[in-house]
Structure 1
Amino acid sequence: MEGIAPPDAIIDAAGGFWQELDQIARTMLLPSRLNQVLAVLVMILAAHLLARLLSPRLRLWLRRREGWAKWRLRLGLVIDRRLRLILFSAMAWIVVLVMREVTWPSLSHVIRLAATIATAVLFIAFASRLIVNPLMRRIAKWAAWIWAVLYLLDLTPAAAQLMDSIAISIGSFRLSALTVLQALAVMTALLAGARLLTGVLTRRLADTADLSPTMRVLTAKILQVALFTLAVVIGLKAIGLDLTGLAVFSGAVGVGLGFGLQKVVSNLVSGVIILLDKSVKPGDVISLGDTFGWIDALGARYVSVVTRDGKEFLIPNEDLVTSQVVNWSHTNNFVRLDVHFGTAYGDDPHKVSKVAINAAMTVKRVLAQRTPVCWITGFGDSSVDYVLRFWISDAQGGLTNVRGQVFLALWDAFKEHDISIPFPQREVRVLGDEDGATPPKFIAGD
């Protein structure tokens, strides 16, 4: 039988829930408990005023905490946002403990209930920070708050009956609002746990020296996909969904999506190929077209490349597989750079080569264990041409800046040893007859 639950069942369940809620409200408003309700309101007002006094000082104190880890600063901000609730919980529990010692426990029942609810809400607010996704965190937080309040007020049976009455039936399969909420709660908890566990495993893998960087990333991605898939499957099983039919349906849908998402699938497959063949890895310095930088992270769809000017390029994995990529640190970190210059014909080339090599050695980033070399490359019109070759091991620090430092070192060394750097000179002569009849001619020459 297919259809939606009859309205009478929903109305009866809603009526039962309202009766339970009305009974709790009448109990709270009994003359013997009005004083407790008033005490709760007074403590709420006191917590509000005290929080307004302490919050600016707490924020100022946090601003002065230089060098603190980000998680500690975030925790301080969360405490500042929940300061009213923290103060109210503390005051309420103190009042409950004092009243239990000096009077009957029943005379502090309302205050204890308010303190318990406030503490539960506070605990959920802090625990929800473990969920990274903001939307998922907000949904989980509010759902947990509602459930905690209903549980502490002993309203969960009536609320569960009301949510279960809102349902649809498809054949033998019945889907109620309660089942959906339970599935969402299970999946949210499992996804949050999977994300947290993945983060912990990724940090552990990063400290494992036996694995290469690419294998660390690949292992982390496989664990992440496996844990997330397990969370979704368990959530679907929680609502009683038959996964056999879903597998057939997803296979048909997958074929259609494969044609429409060829680029996405290609990037995903290319990402796996990159991780397996270890052609690039985090920390490598690469050049792809006009982009030069080091790999910051390997993603499932793209590679993050950070340049020297702080720009972050998200390059699709397919481009790294199909295009020509220069990996400056694939086998090792050594990179050879060339600097071209020229000196006058009157300068001794043996002296020039020696001075140039010594000048390059004064630059910190030039490797001393790989001695620079200087060779004559030709005899130009105005100068003897040289090439100075040297090695560096930190290409991620930039190439233009180290070349500039070497040029400055050459300038200073040549000036100190009276080695001149020539430049082309031109002169213009004006030719004409003595009587000025013939128009002048301009001849350019060296």
Structure 2
Amino acid sequence: MDPTQFPDVVNETGGAVLAFLEGLLRRWNLYQIVVVLVALALAVVLGRLCRTRMRRWMRGLEGRPKWQLRYLLAIEKRLTFIVWAVLLWVIFLALHEVTWPSRSYLIGILARVVSAWIAVEFLVQLMRNRALRRVTRWSLWIYVTLYFFGGLDETAQALDSLAIRFGDFRLSAFSVLKALVVTAILVTVARLGASQTSTRIRRNEDISPSMRELIIKVVQVSLYGAALFIGLKAVGFDLTGLAVLSGAVGVGLGFGLQKVVSNLVSGVIILLDKSIKPGDVISLGDTFGWINTLGARYASITTRDGKEYLIPNEDLITNQVVNWSHTNDFVRLDIHFGTAYGDDPHLVRRVAIAAAASVDRVLASRPPVCHIVGFGDSSVDYILRFWITDPSGGLTNVRGNVYLSLWDAFKEHGISIPFPQREVRILDGSTLATKTID
């Protein structure tokens, strides 16, 4: 803190505040304050009536875009402020025409302030982050209030006097506040630009899905990095002195965040080699599902039971991954079964092929085949193979449908599915046989 400037600035600010309060105590200013309060009370009543009617009207809206509904809801919540601003402007313009301008001066200032508050409310709706939206709202409210009441310069001087020096570098509260505001605005603009760019890139069918994700990540990092850099430079921060510090921090982070860096590099490799892309059906260990998104650190995989797994990108590079739809969508499934030795194997094969072909998802262009694979202890063992092209629809369910079709077909043709049977014989002269005779 600069001890030589701060007391003077405080005295000047305090004097300006006292002068402003003394001006409010004048007769015509008191009249204007009463008019403003009456307008506020009337706005509360009218706002409630308008909100009730508008809420009924909004409930009947169907098929509207989400952004329109979001802004209609924002208008509905702030109808009291909107009505208040309209009343203040009407009163100000009427008094401005019929009496001296000084007798409506305070009402005009309040009309501008309330209108600016409403504009800020709709502006911050562009921000999705609730905490950032709240901070931005209050900051802009304070700024526009000070601007219209003429206290902006005094406040800026008071904040600038709160400073810390590091050699030739001076860091004041005003500089920090200005940096935060400028950076927040630039980051918001960067987010909007990244969102629009991402939407257009995802709609471009000429680019492969993996390259779309890579381009989107590059655009996002570039826009956010540029926003942060420009924001700091715009307020006078010298970033050249951070080069040595950032190098030292980078070495430390390199040891402490090896897994994070590995996942980031793995994500870039996956996007470049196109081995895995959004929409692919993969198996990794016991996890089977399709890829929703490829993030910078992990891939989002949704299974058939609705669970969403976040698989680190490094695991997709180092572990064995089965991509059911890498080069094409054809997937072959095998079913093993057995029939009794008394059944004709030629009939069994024909019935099994026909049963599998009757299932909807089984391909007719690649007809099923059935082969004998061995003679078991209690059955003749077969393998039934068939093809599908929609692994994302699930594998267990199509196997279950084929098994059910086999059961119905075997029952219709009298083909039995044996199971192991055991005989228990009691030998003559054994202890159990003696107890049974007794």
Fold shared by both chains (TM-score > 0.5): yes
Partner of 2:136: 140
Query: Relative to 1, partners in 2 of residues 1:46 and 1:432: Cα closer, same or farther, differing over 3 Å?
Result: farther
Is 1:282 aligned with 2:278? yes
Partner of 1:383: 379
**CA shift in 2, pair 1:30/1:353, >3 Å:** farther
The Cα shift of 1:298 comes to: 1.2
Deviation at 1:305, TM superposition (A): 1.4
Residue identity matched to 2:420: P
Are residue 411 (structure 1) and residue 411 (structure 2) matched? no
The superposition leaves residues 374-431 of structure 1 with CA deviations (integer Å, 9 ceiling, x where unpaired) of 2222233333322222222222222112211222222233333443333333343444
Q: Which residue of 1 aligns with 2:187?
A: 191
Query: Is the 8 Å Cα contact of residues 85 and 118 (structure 1) preserved in structure 2?
Result: yes
User: Given that residues 426 and 432 in structure 2 are in contact (C-alpha distance below 8 angstroms), is that contact kept between their aligned partners in structure 1?
Assistant: no
Taking a change above 3 Å as real, the CA distance of residues 353 and 57 of structure 1, as seen in their structure-2 partners, is: farther
Q: Which among 263, 269, 273 is matched to residue 267 of structure 1?
A: 263
User: Is contact 1:431-1:440 (8 Å) kept?
Assistant: no
| 1:267-416 correspondence to structure 2 within 5 Å | 267-416=263-412
Q: Which structure 2 residue ranges, 5 or more long, are not aligned? A: none
Matched, 1:34 2:45: no
The separation in 2 between residues aligned to 1:54 and 1:383, in whole angstroms, is 80
The DSSP-based 3-state class of the residue aligned with 2:236 is coil
Are the structure 2 counterparts of residues 101 and 355 from structure 1 closer, same or farther at C-alpha, using a change threshold of 3 Å? farther
Assess, with a 3 A threshold, how the Cα gap between structure 1 residues 132 and 435 changes in structure 2: closer, same or farther: closer
Range 53-62 or range 168-177, more displaced: 53-62
Partner residue, 1:245: 241
How far apart are residue 140 of structure 1 and its match?
1.8
SS in 2 for 1:345: coil
Q: Please state if 1:5 is matched with 2:2.
A: yes
Q: 2:228 aligns with which of 226, 232, 236?
A: 232
Whether the 8 Å CA contact 1:214–1:275 is kept in 2: the answer is yes
Distance 1:358 1:438 in 2: 56
The residue number in structure 2 matching 1:163 is 159
Contact 2:426 2:433 (C-alpha < 8 Å) held by counterparts? no
What is the number of residues matched between the two proteins? 437
Question: Is this contact kept in 1: 2:427–2:433, CA < 8 A?
Answer: no
Match of 2:122 among 119, 126, 142: 126
Q: Which moved more, 1:201-210 or 1:370-379?
A: 370-379
Structure 1 residue 91 corresponds to structure 2 residue 87: yes
Secondary structure of the 2:5 match is helix
Q: Does 1:82 align with 2:75?
A: no
Instruction: Decide whether the 8 Å contact of 1:284 with 1:294 is kept in 2.
Output: yes
Give how far 1:211 is off: 1.4
CA distance in 2, matches of 1:100, 1:409: 88
| CA shift in 2, pair 1:47/1:349, >3 Å | farther
Give the C-alpha shift of residue 281 in structure 1.
1.1
Deviation of the 1:159 alpha carbon: 1.4
Deviations 1:99-130 (A, max 9, x none): 55666655543333223222211221221122
Residue 202 (structure 1) shift: 0.9
**Which amino acid letter does the alignment assign opposite residue 340 of structure 1?**
H
Alpha-carbon distance between aligned partners in 2 of 1:124 and 1:298, rounded to the nearest angstrom: 36
Structure 1 405/109 Cα, relative in aligned 2: closer, same or farther at 3 Å? farther
Contact residue 175 and residue 239 of structure 1 kept, 8 A: no
Q: Using a 3 Å threshold, how does the CA distance of structure 1 residues 97 and 230 change in structure 2: closer, same or farther?
A: same
Residue 88 and residue 439 in structure 1: after superposition, are their counterparts in 2 closer, same or farther (change >3 A)?
same
The letter for the 1-side match of 2:40 is I
Q: CA deviation at 1:70?
A: 4.2
Unpaired runs of 5+ residues, structure 1, are 442-446
Contact 1:360 1:366 in 2 (8 A): yes
Q: Could you state the TM-score of these two structures normalised by the residue count of structure 2?
A: 0.89
For residue 152 of structure 2, what is the amino acid of its counterpart? Answer: T
Residue of structure 2 in register with 1:153 after alignment: 149
* AA aligned opposite 2:252: G
The answer (yes or no) to whether the contact 1:287–1:325 under 8 Å persists in 2 is yes
Give the whole-Å Cα distance in 2 for the aligned partners of 1:128 and 1:390: 57
Moved more, 310-319 or 367-376: 367-376
SS at match of 1:438: helix
Which amino acid in the other structure matches residue 252 of structure 1? A
Distance across 1 between alignment mates of 2:135 and 2:432:
97
CA distance in 1, matches of 2:186, 2:215: 20
SS in 1 for 2:367: coil
RMSD over aligned Cα atoms: 2.9
Q: Is the 8 A contact 2:355 2:405 kept in 1?
A: yes
SS of 2:74's equivalent in the other structure is helix
Q: CA–CA distance in 1 between the matches of 2:389 and 2:431? A: 70
8 Å CA contact retained: 1:182, 1:238: no
Deviation string 1:325-375 (CA, Å, 9 cap, x unpaired) is 111111122221112222333443333333333333333332333322222
Residue identity opposite 1:422 in structure 2: P
8 Å contact 2:291–2:301 — kept in the other structure?
A: yes
Q: TM-score, normalised by structure 1?
A: 0.88
User: Which segment is superposed worse, 379-388 or 91-100?
Assistant: 91-100
